[in-house]
Amino acid sequence: MAGISNALPASVTINELTTVAAEWALAQFTDATGQIIGAPSSNATGFANAVNQAQANLADISSGGPASFWSSNGVTEASCTGGSPPVNCDGLERMDTIANILAACVESSGPSSSACIALLTNTGSSTFTLAAAHVMATNPVANVAALFAIQSGSPPFTPDLTETAPDGWEIALNFAPSGANFDGTNFLAIDAGGNVWVPNISGNTVTELTSSGGLAGNFTPSGASFNGPDGVAIDAAGNAWVTNYGFGVDEEGGTSVTELLAGCTTSSCTADNFSNANTSGANFADPIQVAIDAAGNAWVTNQAGNSVTELLAGCTASSCTADNFNNSNTEGAGFDLPQFEAIDAAGNVWVTNALGNSVTELTSSGGLAGHFDPDGANFDFPGGVAIDAADNVWVANVDGDSVTELTSSGGLAGNFDPSGANFGEPIGVAIDAAGNVWVTNIGGNSVTELTSSGALAGHFAPSGAHFSAPDGVAIDASGNVWSANAGGDSVAEIVGAARPVLTPRVACLKQTPAHAVCLP
């Protein structure tokens, strides 16, 4: 298992708990038997990060007990059984419960025991508990009640879920490490190393988390001129581009975009700020989102300005050129409270118009490619937008409690609200490498997963995520699903639940041929 050898301690304990940690953190790198684990060389980073997470956040492979993450976040057996358990109790309780289910079979008389038969039957496995664990990790909402009932009366791992079956076997974590200074966490982006960047709109800083949720830094360098930092994107060089929305922070609103230059550390960070004052033609007006194209241009949606600004590649603090595309100079654009955006494989920019109940497509040079509101789209305050491998465009309808799919030419592919999706003001959209669509429900405190055909794959509301108005969402190269809790000043992660994608987003656009989403 390349990539693991250097991380192994002098001794390793293999038990049901360490098995759960490995199978969940490495779910996207494990075959159907649950026994063969590995990754292509193209995704060495995602694999290494998954291995690190298994040990840092889930189980201590030396002792065979819980990882230090739990105790450092106040989670112990005693605290989880108290009246006000810590946020992350649910994650440890689910881990222990799954381990207890496996133990009921492992410690039985053999494959013909009732516990083993129930485990293997309800996971569709043959003779391996590892295969059963893998199925539970990758199909977390299947046969939950039946599997929950397998546990023995004296479970070996505690604290566990003793009375009620969970919504599924997903394991979710919540991160708000000391020093992160989270304050208004609406959006996030993931860099090439798997680190998570989170602007703090009310705190006027940007926080970087490690791939396992630890603190990498909280930045407010000279030159950043943060004013309600909100949207964020990472370019191919590792620079972090941040919109200064300003609303609620500065009565005049935001009029700038900040670039945190690659290499920021807690002791050193350099930034450039591009504003209406120093960047001719920018015309920023409450800039809310930013996306980077394959050429390195930064595209910014201006919510108050009903426009999109393009900062041309090569911008520096002393020299920057910008173009602004609006309803006056781009006939038919129909911009009306433009918010979210995504870039397709051809470099075209797709923008949702929240008040216009429509989607606008600009060409890579800023011309109008189309303005779309096809019959049946049912656009209703459209929010997040993401583009799949076929260049189809997926849009969350915040007020419509549905998700719309457009074809690459702007026609209607479908409008989806399957039974059990439990959409509650769906807002953020991310697509994994299997084509599954992950949607945050800002009003429902949950995440919904749709298949590539719009059917329900799962609806997740684990208390361990501590979802509080989850907004921005992203998937990393380990298959973890990350969301920013806009109402909770924290970041949530569902461990190993999605097919890994190459990060940052622009990395897929720079491939030949280009893709909007791709495998590492």
- Which pLDDT tens digit goes with each residue over 262-304? 999 999 999 999 999 999 999 999 999 999 999 999 999 999 9
Residue 465 has pLDDT above 80, yes or no: yes
- Nearest alpha-carbon partner for 273 in 262, 286, 259, 263: 259
Tell me, yes or no, whether 257 lies in a domain: no
Q: Is the same domain home to 142 and 278?
A: no
Burial grade of 510 (CB within 10 A; 0-12, 13-18, 19 or more): middle
Residues 22 and 116 in one domain: yes
Q: What tokens were used for 33?
A: 């038997």
Q: Is residue 194 part of a domain?
A: no
Give the per-residue pLDDT at 3.
Answer: 44
Give burial (CB, 10 Å; 0-12/13-18/19+) of 59.
buried
351/464 same-domain check: yes
Among 122, 138, 169, residue at a domain's last position: 169
What is the reported pLDDT for 114? 95
Beta strands 215-219; 393-397: pairing state: unpaired
How many domains are there within the chain? 2
Mean pLDDT score of the chain, rounded to an integer? Answer: 95
Residue 2 has pLDDT above 50, yes or no: no
Tokens representing 90 are 């649910």
Residues 471 and 434 in one domain: yes
Q: Is the dihedral of CA 501, 504, 509, 513 positive or negative?
A: negative
Q: Specify whether 47 is located in the same domain as 64.
A: yes
232, 240 Cβ separation under 8 angstroms: yes
What is the span of the domain harbouring residue 137? 5-169
Is the per-residue pLDDT at 433 higher than 60? yes
Whether 51 and 141 share a structural domain: yes
Q: Is the pLDDT of residue 485 over 50?
A: yes
Question: CB under 8 Å to 139, separation ≥6 — which residues?
Answer: none
Predicted pLDDT at 240: 98
- Nearest alpha-carbon partner for 249 in 189, 208, 200: 200
Please indicate, yes or no, whether residues 179 and 89 belong to a single structural domain of this protein.
no
Among 112, 144, 169, where does a domain finish?
Answer: 169
Cβ neighbourhood burial of 319 (10 Å; 0-12, 13-18, 19+): exposed
Task: For residue 156, tell me if it sits in a domain.
Answer: yes
CA dihedral for 241, 245, 246, 252, sign (positive or negative): positive
Please report whether residue 196 resides in a domain: no
Residue that finishes a domain, picked among 114, 138, 169: 169
Digit-coded pLDDT (tens) for 26-42? 999 999 989 999 999 99
CA R_g for the chain: 23
Q: What is the pLDDT at residue 252?
A: 60
Q: How far apart are CA 415 and CA 395, in angstroms?
A: 9
Task: Please say if the pLDDT value at position 7 is more than 80.
Answer: no
327: pLDDT strictly greater than 80? yes
Cα separation of the two ends of the chain: 18
Within a domain: 274:
yes
Whole-number Å distance between alpha carbons of 368 and 285: 21
Residues 158 and 274 in one domain: no
- Per-residue exposure over 431-444, b if at least 16 CB sit within 10 Å of its own CB, e if not: bbbbbbbbbbbbeb
Domain assignment present for 322: yes
Confidence tier at 4 by pLDDT (50, 70, 90):
very low
| For range 360-364, the mean pLDDT | 98
Going by the DSSP 8-state scheme, the letter that residue 5 receives in this structure is G
Residue 312 lies in a domain: yes
Look at residue 196 and tell me whether its pLDDT is greater than 70: yes
Mean pLDDT of 36-52: 96
Tell me phi and psi for residue 507, to 5 degrees. Answer: -60, -35
Catalogue the E-assigned strands of 422-480: 426-431, 437-441, 446-450, 456-460, 470-475
The least confident of 126-135, 223-232, 302-311 is 126-135
Kindly report the CATH number assigned to the domain that includes residue 340: 2.120.10.30
**Do 14 and 120 have their domain in common?**
yes
**Separation CA 456–CA 380 (nearest Å):** 21
The answer on 352 and 294 residing in a single domain is yes
Beta strands in 93-238 (DSSP E): 172-175, 189-190, 196-200, 205-209, 215-219, 229-234
Tell me the average pLDDT across 169-180.
Answer: 98
Per-residue pLDDT tens over the stretch 102-111: 999 999 988 8
**What is the identity of the amino acid at 520?**
P
The answer as to whether 452 is a domain residue is: yes
Question: Model confidence at 153, in pLDDT bands (50, 70, 90)?
Answer: confident
Q: Are residues 100 and 178 in the same domain?
A: no
Indicate if 141 and 178 belong to the same structural domain: no
